[in-house]
Structure formats: C-alpha cells, structure tokens
C-alpha cells in the first residue's frame, strides 16, 4: 500500500525510531549499516496496520450477550442495561480485552465512538497507552435519553447530563490529546439522532472546531433514524447534521445504511467519512449500506467492526471479507468491492477518515511505522499468486504474526508484549460473569447448556 499501489516481492522496510526510513527490495534495505536488529518476515506479507473506524471498547465484555434481535430492542433490553451497570474497572478490563483482540488480528489504530463516564475514561486511556495502540477516544455527549422517536428508553445508568458531557470532553482533551507520543487523541462522541437536541449538536460542532478535534456519531444506521428526522425536522439525516454544523469539523459517521444519494453528495462536499460496519449491519438486520455508490459519489468510506454484541468480534480481516461479499451479492455484480478497494478501506481510507493520512495507512518513507506481518505459509493461504486476494478472501485475523505500532514491536510470533494475555482473559471472564449477575440478565442459549 503506497501511492502507486506497488506489491513488492522480496521487499523490506527499514524503521528508524517511530517512522519508516526506507522501503524497497530486501537487498536494498538489508544490511543497512545503522540497523540494530532485523525481523525475519520470510513467507509473510508486510502491510500497513489495519484501521478500525468504528469500535466500542466497552462492548467486548458484552460479547454474545444480545444475539438475534434488532437494534432498538438490542439497546434497550441488553446493551444499555449491561453498560449502565458497569462499575469499577469493568470499562478498563473490557477495553483491554478489545485491544488484545484487535492487536492479535492486525488492527493498529481505532476510533472508539462512545465512552460513557462510568466506564472510566482515565483508566481506558492509560490502558491504550500501555497496550501501545493508536486510538481515538470519543467521550459521549448526550442530552436526551432516547433513540429516534422512542424517548426515555435509555437505562438510567447510561443517562448523562449534557453540560457535564461537554465539560468532560474538554478536560479529557486537555489531559490526554496527543499523549503517549501522540498515539492518543480525544474526540466528541455525539449520541445518535434522538439522543441530542439540535442545539446540543451545534455546541458539539462548535466545541470540535474550537479544540481542533473531531466528532463521531452513528447516522442512518436503522430506518428509525430516517423516520425520526423526517417527522421532527422534515429533513433527511444527512441534511440535518449539515444544518446543525456537524459537517464543518472532521466527522466520521458510523453505518450510513439509510443515507440517500442526496446525502452522499452533502457528505462528500464537506469531506465527511462513513465507517462501514457490514457484519454489525447484517447481524442486527439494519440493512446494507450502499457503500459502492457512496464511494463513487466521493464519500470516503472506512471499515469498522462495531462491537462485541453486534459483530461479535473485532477482527478487521474477517470484516474485509464481509464487506466485499455483501456488496457483490447486493448488486449482483462480482466486479464491485474487489479485494484491492477493500484493503484500501481498511487502511488508507481509514487514515483519511481520522485525518491521519499523512501519518498512517500506507507503507511510505516518513510515515509512522505501524505495520503488520501476515504469515502466508498456511494450508488456507497456499499457493500465493495474489497476496491482496488472500488477505480479503482467504486470511483470518489469527494469521497476523507480528504487529509494530509507532516503531515498537507490540506482538511477535503472536505473543503480545504489552498486555499480559492470560491476565486480560481471566479478568474479562470474571468481570463479564459478575456484570451479568449484577444486571440480572441471564443469557438463555436456545440449546440446553449442560
């Protein structure tokens, strides 16, 4: 992945500090006099780290807690009550589980979209610092405890006061934005339509412009979004967010399933990006985002795994395959969403969405050394005629062997160096069970669990 989309055989990358110093044939890069050590990538593909543009860190602990239901019931009956019962280190433990999974499947940068105060922002930010990942943490801003036309449906534990939310974004921004050698950024996480007044959306946009930061928000995820703004404001969702000024700052909209051609043009004109989450949209039966047409209209489309109860995993390699196959089946056209364009979605388009295209998203001299090595000597990946095809159609997250972020080795031979895997898994098992018990939600498998 570079500006010429070259796929180099027998290639090598020289890293100096946190940046890429040289890219070329191994013979040109190897034996660089100053090189301190060498990582053998024989039989592997070197890729830019994957960029997940829509993640809920606090939902890893809710994995498999709300299957086979649609979005609003999913939120009201399961996700909100569970997240509304988070206490102590639940948020931090969930974030560490999520990051462990992301690292082990090749994600190096993520955009977390809605952090409630009760998850413990500082604890999560400290974990991102320790895990060695690059992450944007968006603090939730909300004003109304509803979703779309359905008011007051939010669990009391999830309700936050708008003034406190706005104040907290600023204090988190001052404390954390640019920390961990610039790996941590802080954005506004605006609640979905029905969760904020137009005035509050305006204040979010103003705040983002004043701080020079970004905003992320779920938009047009389900048909209810559309019905709500049409009824309340006689507008389409994309027109509404434009009118309240959210498009005048850097903004990433998750999903965009129900946005129309008119709205794609508005988003494209204002350089807003969409985080496409195909697995989540399929599982919650929200619909299929027309991302092929959206991209043709000039909208930058990245890829996202969403969350533990909607996907139910944070594996961008699996997500690439879902993204590709879904568009082909929808349009009855095997030519659309080809492997190359989907790898772009997961790398350089993600970087553009986050405003980091000059720093990450490709393997080019001067960019940050965020790289992954994917092992190809495996039964499901041999023979290799076109590595790009294998990455999308045949590989899986567990084929990622090595992860380098900001020039530091975060995983080698599938051993994560920054987080203790056993401790993270034990803590999550324990915290997950206690959370369910405290919330009073019993997961009833349809088949007898003996």
Q: Tokens 């018990």 identify what position?
A: 437
Closest CA to 345 of 278, 265, 271: 278
Q: Contacts with Zn ion in 399-428 (CB under 5 A)?
A: none
Which residue in the shown chain puts its C-beta closest to Zn ion? 306
Closest CA to 250 of 297, 213, 284: 213
Least Å from the CB of residue 401 to Zn ion: 29
* Cβ closest to Zn ion, residue 224 vs residue 306: 306
Report the alpha-carbon distance of residue 310 to residue 79 in Å, rounded: 10
* Cβ closest to Zn ion, residue 168 vs residue 306: 306
Q: Contacts with Zn ion in 249-308 (CB under 5 A)?
A: 306
Helices (H) and strands (E) in the chain, counts: 17, 15
Q: x/- binding map, residues 299-338, to Zn ion, per CB under 5 A?
A: -------x--------------------------------
Least Å from the CB of residue 256 to Zn ion: 12
* Cβ closest to Zn ion, residue 18 vs residue 83: 83
* Cβ closest to Zn ion, residue 225 vs residue 306: 306
H helices within 120-244, ranges in order?
A: 121-131, 162-176, 198-211, 223-233, 237-243
Pair of tokens at residue 76: 């009201």
Q: How many residues bind Zn ion (CB under 5 A)?
A: 1
Least Å from the CB of residue 195 to Zn ion: 13
Q: Contacts with Zn ion in 333-362 (CB under 5 A)?
A: none
Which helix H or strand E contains 372, and what residues bound it?
strand 371-375
* Cβ closest to Zn ion, residue 48 vs residue 307: 307
Least Å from the CB of residue 56 to Zn ion: 6
* Cβ closest to Zn ion, residue 90 vs residue 306: 306
Least Å from the CB of residue 276 to Zn ion: 12
* Cβ closest to Zn ion, residue 109 vs residue 113: 113
* Cβ closest to Zn ion, residue 183 vs residue 255: 255
Least Å from the CB of residue 114 to Zn ion: 7
Q: Tokens 């195909």 identify what position?
A: 278
Which residues, in sequence order, are CB contacts of 50 under 8 Å at separation 6+?
105, 106, 107, 108, 109, 316, 317, 346, 347, 350, 372
Least Å from the CB of residue 255 to Zn ion: 7
Judged on CB neighbours under 10 Å (0-12, 13-18, 19+), 444 is exposed
Q: Tokens 């829509």 identify what position?
A: 54
Report the alpha-carbon distance of residue 371 to residue 119 in Å, rounded: 30
Report the alpha-carbon distance of residue 250 to residue 330 in Å, rounded: 30
Q: x/- binding map, residues 29-68, to Zn ion, per CB under 5 A?
A: ----------------------------------------
Least Å from the CB of residue 329 to Zn ion: 23
Using CB under 5 A, list all residues that contact Zn ion.
306
């Amino acid at each position: 992945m570079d500006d010429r989309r070259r796929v180099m055989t027998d290639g090598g990358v020289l890293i100096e500090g946190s940046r890429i110093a040289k890219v070329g044939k191994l013979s040109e890069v190897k034996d660089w006099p100053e090189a301190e050590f060498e990582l053998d990538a024989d039989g592997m593909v070197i890729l830019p780290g994957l960029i997940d543009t829509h993640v809920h860190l606090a939902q890893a602990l809710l994995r498999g807690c709300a299957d086979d239901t649609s979005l609003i019931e999913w939120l009201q009956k399961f996700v909100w009550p569970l997240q509304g019962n988070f206490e102590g280190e639940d948020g931090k433990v969930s974030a560490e589980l999520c990051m462990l999974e992301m690292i082990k499947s090749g994600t190096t940068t993520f955009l977390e979209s809605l952090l409630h105060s009760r998850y413990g922002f500082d604890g999560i930010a400290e974990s991102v610092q320790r895990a060695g990942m690059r992450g944007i943490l968006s603090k939730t801003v909300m004003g109304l405890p509803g979703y779309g036309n359905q008011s007051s449906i939010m669990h009391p534990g999830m309700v936050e006061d708008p003034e406190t939310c706005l104040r907290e974004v600023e204090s988190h921004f001052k404390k954390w934005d640019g920390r961990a050698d610039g790996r941590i950024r802080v954005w506004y996480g605006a609640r979905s339509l029905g969760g904020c007044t137009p005035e509050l959306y305006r204040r979010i946009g103003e705040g983002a412009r004043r701080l020079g930061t970004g905003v992320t928000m779920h938009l047009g995820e389900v048909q209810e979004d559309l019905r709500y703004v049409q009824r309340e404001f006689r507008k389409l969702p994309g027109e509404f967010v434009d009118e309240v000024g959210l498009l005048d700052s850097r903004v990433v909209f998750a999903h965009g399933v129900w946005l129309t051609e008119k709205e794609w043009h508005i988003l494209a004109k204002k350089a807003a990006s969409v985080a496409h989450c195909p697995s989540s949209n399929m599982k919650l039966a929200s619909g299929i985002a027309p991302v092929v047409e959206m991209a043709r209209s000039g909208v930058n489309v990245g890829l996202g795994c969403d969350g533990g109860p909607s996907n139910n995993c944070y594996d961008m390699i699996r997500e690439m395959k879902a993204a590709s196959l879904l568009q082909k089946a929808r349009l009855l056209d095997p030519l659309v969403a080809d492997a190359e364009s989907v790898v772009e979605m997961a790398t350089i388009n993600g970087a553009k969405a986050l405003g980091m295209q000059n720093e990450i998203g490709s393997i080019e001299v001067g960019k940050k050394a965020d790289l992954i090595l994917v092992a190809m000597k495996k039964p499901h990946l041999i023979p290799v005629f076109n590595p790009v095809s294998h990455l999308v159609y045949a590989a899986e997250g567990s084929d990622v062997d090595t992860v380098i972020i900001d020039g530091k080795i975060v995983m080698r031979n599938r051993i994560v160096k920054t987080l203790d895997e056993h401790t993270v898994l034990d803590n999550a098992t324990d915290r997950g069970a206690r959370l369910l018990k405290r919330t009073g939600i019993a997961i009833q498998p349809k088949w007898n669990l003996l």
